[in-house]
Chain A
Amino acid sequence: MALLQIKDLTLRFGGLCAVNALSLEIEEGSIRSLIGPNGAGKTCVFNCLTGFYKPSDGEMLFQGESLVNKKPHIITYMGMARTFQNLRLFKSMSVLENVMSGMHCRTNAAFFTTAFRTKGQREEEKHIREVAEECLDFVGILNKKHFIASNLPYGDQRKVEWARALATQPKLLLLDEPAAGLNKDEKSRLIDLMHKIRDKREVTIFLIEHDMGLVMKISEKIFVIDYGVKIAEGTAQEVRDNPKVVEAYLGKEEEEETA
């Protein structure tokens, strides 16, 4: 059975159909991409999956369990983590504190253990810190753990968001345009990092990306949507040769490739 199954997912905002009867499956251990022109409804799909938007219709199954009507924090607890298209860090907190947030749903110290600072609570705090540091080390910015998040350069802020998502110990990682705003160098390191996450941490990756070059390099299978409707799916080659896709992008694809 696939890790994630989406069946006839539909999301309407009044008259606008942002996602229209979308069906797709993500197999465990794979890297899959969702592409499409601006406003195609890609982010809306992620928002439905993670419980931020309530789908108008359809079913979403994660490890066989329905995600419909579940709150975002429950979905994270079930093992799905996400990053945001526009960075959503806890800006005035330290990098380490940012990443420690991911461990919240895997720990449980409450008022009394905290007020009396029991042995269990202190050990849990230490554990949270260790996991956060390990995640920072994994993405390669452990040396910046005491910096305030908003003071980091953009590329590093992205890495904080990744580390934070990894700290929730996900099975499936949803990345919304992870390469946006990165330079060529950073992009190639990003590809390595994604492979490392998949291979070493056994996390399945589902990403939205505009950079076609990157998408073609990283994912074995690509889904293309336009106006909320799935218009193609297949390998990079198949998608590239699909006339519908070419039409949807209106030559935009070549433009981005040369850039």
Chain B
Amino acid sequence: MAETKNKHKIKNPFEGIIEKLFMIFENKIYLYGFFAALVVFLVIFPNTSSRFTQEIMTNLFFYVVVCLGLNIIVGYAGLLHLGYAAFFAVGAYTTGILSSRMGMDFWLTIPFSIVAAVIAGLAIGFPTLRLRGDYLAIVTLGFGEITRLTIRNLDVTGGAIGLIGIQRPEFFGITLNQISHFYYMFFILAILAIIVSYRLENSRMGRAWEYIREDEDAAAAMGINVTTSRLYAFIIGSAFGAVAGSFFAAKMTAISPDSFMFIHSVMFLMAVVLGGMGKIPGVVLGSVLVVLIPEVARGIGPYRLLIFGFLLLIIMLYRPQGIWPEKPTISTDE
């Protein structure tokens, strides 16, 4: 068909490389070998690198977790979310308040942070998701700002200064206080996020999101509750963000409203969109780009946002489905 051929007309520099990789990794032994080598490399990485590079890698893993969470909402359910940093803030502040003000153990704060995110997700999602998808973008944008202004002005959140003295988590008797500890913690979190995303994607729920994205009416006719399925995605994604926020708070030990600005929501969204919405390797690739480009381009300082803007514009114009290619498909070749 002419349409499908057109789709592949525009090549990008990554595509050739990635297509070659697809061909090599068709052989499962290479694929598993590659993953094993990657994991081994990432595990021994802290022993061979500076604190600075470990910090960057930790930030990368953190981005992978957050962006995979956002991907559930944006990529899987197809809902535009412009205030994801707020859900991240809900988790960070829940842990921050419970830990610094009440002395609660870090691990115990996580269920509270999930519950807080679920409540916030329901409060935002329940009324808006019955309307058309577009409204959610506006409501989440507003929610992001309201949340930031609220935590800035409340006493319990420490106002503009924020919270300090968030306790370090303990793990089998070891207090996590080295950068390498957090490196491993976020590494494990990222792997868990990938596994959960993968399982969701290939499940009854993941398929329901895909059906809805493809054809909402047909999905409804097949017995899928469109509103509830979207709400599920919204809440699961929010909970992902909140858990990442909790770990963020534990790593930083101090948080302030400045960590949860609109620009952060934009960066998360950019990573998802750049790499490819709804595709796990795409989101990982997007996170790598969003975290590493500023580091590589440190020399040009304030102009780096300009580079992002430009990159995003090009991607949106020429490759709205993101850098990562579509999964190869079988066709009848009539």
**Chain A residues near B (Cβ < 8 Å):** 50, 52, 71-73, 76-77, 81-82, 84, 88-93, 97, 100-102, 104-107, 109-111, 114-115, 117, 121, 124-125, 128, 146-148, 150-153, 164, 168
Chain A residues with Cβ under 8 A from B236's Cβ? 111
Q: Cβ of A124 and Cβ of B204 under 8 Å apart?
A: yes
* Given A73-B225, A90-B210: A109 touches B204 (CB 8 Å cut-off): yes
* Cβ 8 A contact of A97, one of B4, B199, B207, B331: B207
- Lowest 9 A-B CB distances belong to which pairs? A105-B223, A76-B223, A88-B218, A72-B220, A90-B214, A151-B331, A101-B222, A114-B203, A148-B329
B186-243 with Cβ < 8 A to chain A? 196, 199-200, 203-205, 207-208, 210-211, 214-215, 217-226, 232, 236
- Inside 8 A of B225's CB, which chain A residues have their CB? 71, 73
The answer to whether A109 and B203 touch (CB under 8 A), given A73-B226, A101-B224, A152-B332, is: yes
Query: In the complex, which residues of chain A have a beta carbon less than 8 angstroms from the beta carbon of B207?
Result: 97, 100-101, 104
Kindly identify which residue among B1, B200, B215, B332 contacts A114, using a CB–CB cutoff of 8 Å: B200
6 examples of A-B residue contacts, CB within 8 angstroms: A73-B220, A91-B214, A111-B232, A115-B200, A124-B204, A153-B334
CB-CB < 8 A to A128: which residues of B? Answer: 204
Cβ of B222 and Cβ of A168 under 8 Å apart?
Answer: yes
Cα distance, A88 to B329, chains bound together (Å) = 20
Which residues from chain B contact A92 at a C-beta distance below 8 Å?
214, 329
B306 located at the interface, meaning its Cβ lies under 8 Å from any Cβ of chain A in the complex: no
The answer to whether A110 and B205 touch across the interface, beta carbons within 8 angstroms, is yes
For the complex formed, measure the closest distance between the CB of B77 and the CB atoms of chain A, giving whole angstroms: 13
Bound CA–CA A128/B232 (angstroms): 21
A117→B197 CA distance, assembly (Å): 12
Q: Which of B78-110 contact A (CB under 8 A)?
A: none
Q: Which residues of B contact A (CB under 8 A)?
A: 1, 4, 196, 199-200, 203-205, 207-208, 210-211, 214-215, 217-226, 232, 236, 329-332, 334
Measured in the bound complex, the distance between the Cα atoms of B222 and A84 in whole Å is 12
* B192 closest partner in A (C-beta): A115
- Determine whether the beta carbon of B334 is less than 8 Å from that of A88: no
Chain A hits for B199, CB < 8 A: 114-115, 117
- Residues from chain A with a CB closer than 8 A to the CB of B203 are 109, 114, 121, 125
Q: How far is the CA of A168 from the CA of B222 in the complex (A)?
A: 7
Shortest B168–chain A CB gap in Å is: 27
B34: min CB distance to chain A, Å: 23
Contact partner of B223 (CB less than 8 A), chosen from A73, A84, A90, A121, is A73
A124 to B204, CA, bound (A): 9
How many Å lie between the Cα of A128 and that of B224 in the bound state?
15
Minimal beta-carbon separation of B52 from chain A (angstroms): 34
B331-A147 in contact (CB<8A): yes
Q: Which residues of A contact B332 (CB under 8 A)?
A: 147, 151-153
CB nearest neighbor in A for B213: A90
What are the residues of chain B within 8 A of A82 when measuring CB–CB?
Answer: 221
**In the complex, what residues of B have CB within 8 A of residue A89's CB?**
215, 218
Please state if B330 and A101 are interface contacts (CB–CB under 8 Å).
Answer: no
Contact A90/B224 with A111-B232, A115-B199, A147-B331 known, Cβ cut-off 8 Å: no
Asked, given contacts A148-B331, A152-B332, whether A104 binds B214 with beta carbons under 8 Å apart, the answer is no
Residues of chain B within 8 A (CB-CB) of A76 are 220-223
Q: How far is the CA of A67 from the CA of B330 in the complex (A)?
A: 41
Residue of B200, B205, B214, B224 with highest tally of chain A CB at under 10 A = B214
Contacting B217 at CB < 8 Å: which of A88, A146, A148? Answer: A88
Q: Which residues of B contact A73 (CB under 8 A)?
A: 220, 222-226
Instruction: Report whether A111 and B205 are in contact in the complex, using a CB–CB cutoff of 8 Å.
Output: yes
B223 with A168: CB separation less than 8 A: yes
* Nearest CB in chain A: distance from B278 CB, A: 11
The contact of B219 among A52, A101, A124, A150, by CB within 8 Å, is A101
Task: State A125–B204 Cα separation when bound (angstroms).
Answer: 7
User: Which chain B residues lie closer than 8 Å to A115 at the CB level?
Assistant: 196, 199-200
A109 in contact with B205 (CB, 8 Å): yes
B residues less than 8 Å from A84 (CB atoms): 218, 221
Which of A88, A104, A117, A148 lies in contact with B208, CB distance below 8 A? A104
Shortest Cβ distance from residue A62 to the other chain B in the assembled complex, whole angstroms: 14
Give A222 to B38 CA distance when docked, in angstroms: 67
Q: How far is the CA of A93 from the CA of B33 in the complex (A)?
A: 29
Residues of A within 8 A of B330 (CB): 146-148, 151
**Complex: chain A residue closest to B3, CB-CB:** A150
The CA-CA distance from A89 to B223 in the complex, in Å, is: 14
Select which of B4, B205, B218, B334 is within 8 A of A90 by beta carbon.
Answer: B218
Q: How near does chain B come to A94, taking the closest CB pair, in angstroms?
A: 8
B223 touches A93 (CB 8 A): no
Q: How far is the CB of B257 from chain A (nearest CB, A)?
A: 30
Look across to chain B and name the residue whose beta carbon is closest to the beta carbon of A50: B221
* Nearest A residue to B223, CB-CB: A105
